[in-house]
Amino acid sequence: MTQCTNSSVIEIKVRSKHLESAQKRWAKIPTNSKTISKSGKKYGILAEEIFIDSYGGILIDNKEYDIDYKSLGKIDIKTKRCWSCPDPSYNCTVAKYQLDRGGCDFYAFYRIRSDYSTAWFLGMISAAEFKKTATFMKSGTRAGNFICKADCYNIPISS
């Protein structure tokens, strides 16, 4: 596996403690009818574990947000599975129903390799700034090689 050369992301080696914590949690959580991919919850939970290990915060894990971070507020972790280092032109995505629901102060974005070996922290943005700058994508619309599986809003990783 080659090192990621995208300087706008932080590459993180997924450690066994991240996987073990995530596996315990995802074994207990039923599939959400709104989940875009059946394995998506695994990657999302893993990203939450990595975030807490890296930056701290308290796991809340409700419908509006995932982490309570004392100095920032409510953070919702958004994660996509990938095969390689994310390109700066790839998108960070929030499903429309989640954006409409609100309830968080910030979004934190991750990509995680399909084999769970590597994660990339793509950055954070306030929910207010995301709403102002994101582009709406209708379900079925193609964004590069990605086909939107639900109505969503996107911003490029580089943003």
CA 73 to chain CA centroid, Å, is 17
Q: How confident is the model at residue 69 (pLDDT cuts 50, 70, 90)?
A: very high
* E runs forming strands in the chain: 10-13, 58-59, 67-69, 73-82, 91-95, 106-113, 118-126, 135-137, 142-143, 146-147, 152-156
What's the pLDDT score for residue 47?
Answer: 96
What's the pLDDT score for residue 28?
Answer: 81
What tens digit of pLDDT does each residue of 106-154 get? 999 999 999 999 999 999 999 999 999 999 999 999 877 788 889 999 9
Q: Are 58 and 67 in contact (CB under 8 A)?
A: yes
Q: How confident is the model at residue 2 (pLDDT cuts 50, 70, 90)?
A: low
